[in-house]
Amino acid sequence: MLPLYYFSIAGGMFVVAGLAGAVASRHFVVTILSLELVFAGSITALAGYFTYSPAISGTFFTILLSIWTVASVEVVGLVAFYVYMKNKVIDFDLKKLTQLKG
* pLDDT for the residue 100: 57
* pLDDT for the residue 14: 92
Cβ neighbours around 44 below 10 Å, total: 20
Per residue of the chain (102 residues), give pLDDT as tens.
778 889 889 999 999 999 998 888 777 778 888 888 888 888 888 778 777 777 665 566 667 777 777 777 777 877 887 788 778 777 767 666 665 555
Q: Which domains does the chain have, with CATH numbers?
A: 4-100 (1.10.287.3510)
Residue 27's DSSP bridge partners are 93
Report pTM. Answer: 0.63
* pLDDT for the residue 28: 75
27: helix, strand or coil = strand
Q: Which of 37, 45, 12, 29 is nearest to 91 (CA)?
A: 29
Residues 6+ apart with CB under 8 A from 76: none
